Structure 1
Amino acid sequence: MTSSPSKTARRLGVLLGAACLTVPLTVALGGTAQAAPSSCTAGTGPFQKNAERFLGRTVDGRQSAADCRAIRAFQLDHGISPAIGYAGPVTWSVMDLVGKQRSAGDRPNAAGKCPVDKGRVACVDLTRQLSWIQDGSRLKFGPVPIRSGRDGYETRTGLKRVYWRSVDHWSTLYKVRMPYSQFFDGGQAFHAIDGSVWSAPGSHGCVNMRRADAKKYWSLLKNGDDVYVYGSKPGT
């Protein structure tokens, strides 16, 4: 007996949805990720001045106790481990990305790269790791930070369409929940994660979101709505 399109889509989502789950939510300075220590212990890092400027500190390139605490607070807020206040390349790359995300303000589509002739569309900018929803040219929600596919598992670009939704999706492969899953391209979907959307290296193709943002997307999108993915994630 031939399966109906809805049953086929459901099976496809169950089988493929797990393929884009997140990798461990830790970021290492190099090598194996370590647990964050309970105190600030780092010296001056190679991106000290960049970090000071980003954090609004005095830019002198010399680590102070206050600098270390400020850098460590940023690391803790953004899921960077070890969180020891060291201004290394991983910390600076996240700061740089966050700065670009903040600069988008309420005009994330200022460059006009997401189509405005599609009615409601969820835009995904891989370069800035941002997503938002617009109705024509009018911003409906966002922009919000996201985490897309890591190197080798890139989130595929182009015009897509939401085809299956599962509010409390369960990955049979990884035995992990994928709340508010909205599949738009094979096994690739918007869904919430626990942990930081800024942590490296990325998902296995899905667009990872903070829970509140994924929940809002769930309320605003429906099957058949357009999704437009463009750009290239740094490092992929």
Structure 2
Amino acid sequence: MVLPLTVALAAPAQAAASCTTQTGPYQKQVEKFLGRPVDGKQSPADCKAIQSFQKAHGITPSVGYAGPLTWQTMNTMLAQRAAGKTPNKAGACPTNKGRIACVDLTRQLSWIQDGAKLTYGPVPVRTGRDGAETRTGAKRVYHRNIKHWSTIYKVWMPYAQFFDGGQAFHSVEKSMYNPPGSGGCVNLRPADAKAYWNLLRNGDDVYVYGRKPGT
């Protein structure tokens, strides 16, 4: 039996997110970061590459526009790459404390060092958003819970290590570059959060400094 046309046709697939034709204010910088031809003019291929980056890191709207947030994210990544294996080259994190977890808000980087010796990292982190910034200064790990339940945000916080009034290192599944940031905690990728759990103990020092871009 031949079905009526209105029944036989399947519903159209959801349209893919549109790709903008607009040239963004950071077009050349974004093109260079993505390895695209640097001409400062938006092309369909440019847009698809930018859109893919935005979707990977939860940057919305993911329409392929080379705007401030997209470039800010890329610029943070460049700063992290430049840190290499000498994240404390400027000596901002204390080297006279023995084992210490350092958090650089400006570069969104963290690492563990013992004196001047790098023990783990540096690794990308996701810190507090504007209005809920991760507080700076000298801290200490004071409570650890391998599977903490947040009564405030109603989410699990695996490998939670608290160091300042409810702010903690803990694992999240999302991108470390997902805006606008955490509620104040220092988010880590699962493997990094597990490594921090194995390396740190109650009483260990934590030092937070700098300022997160956009806060």
Length-normalised TM-score, structure 1: 0.80
Q: Identity of paired residues, percent?
A: 66
Q: Which amino acid counterpart does residue 141 of structure 2 have in structure 1? A: V
| CA distance in 1: counterparts of 2:139 and 2:177, whole angstroms | 24
Counterpart selection for 1:111 from 90, 93, 100: 90
How big is the shift at 1:210?
1.4
How big is the shift at 1:197?
1.8
CA contact (8 A) 1:121 1:226 kept: yes
CA-atom RMSD, angstroms? 1.5
Structure 1 residue matching 2:51: 3-state secondary structure: helix
Gaps of 5+ in 1: 1-36
| Cα offsets for 1:27-69 (capped at 9, x unmatched) | xxxxxxxxxx735612222211110111222110112222222
| Cα offsets for 1:120-168 (capped at 9, x unmatched) | 1100001111100111111111111111112222211111111110011
Which structure has more relative contact order (CA 8 Å, sep 6+)? It is 1
Which sits farther off after the overlay, 111-120 or 49-58? Answer: 49-58
Indicate the residue corresponding to 1:121 in structure 2. 100
Counterpart selection for 2:58 from 75, 79, 83: 79
How big is the shift at 1:194?
2.4
How big is the shift at 1:82?
2.5
Indicate the residue corresponding to 1:22 in structure 2. none
Length-normalised TM-score, structure 2: 0.88
Gaps of 5+ in 2: 1-14
| Cα offsets for 1:194-230 (capped at 9, x unmatched) | 2122122222211111112111111111111110111
Indicate the residue corresponding to 2:124 in structure 1. 145
Is 1:159 matched up with 2:155?
Answer: no
Indicate the residue corresponding to 1:55 in structure 2. 34
Larger Rg: 2
| CA distance in 2: counterparts of 1:64 and 1:39, whole angstroms | 16
Q: Report the count of equivalent residues.
A: 200
CA contact (8 A) 1:40 1:68 kept: no
Is 1:41 matched up with 2:19?
Answer: yes
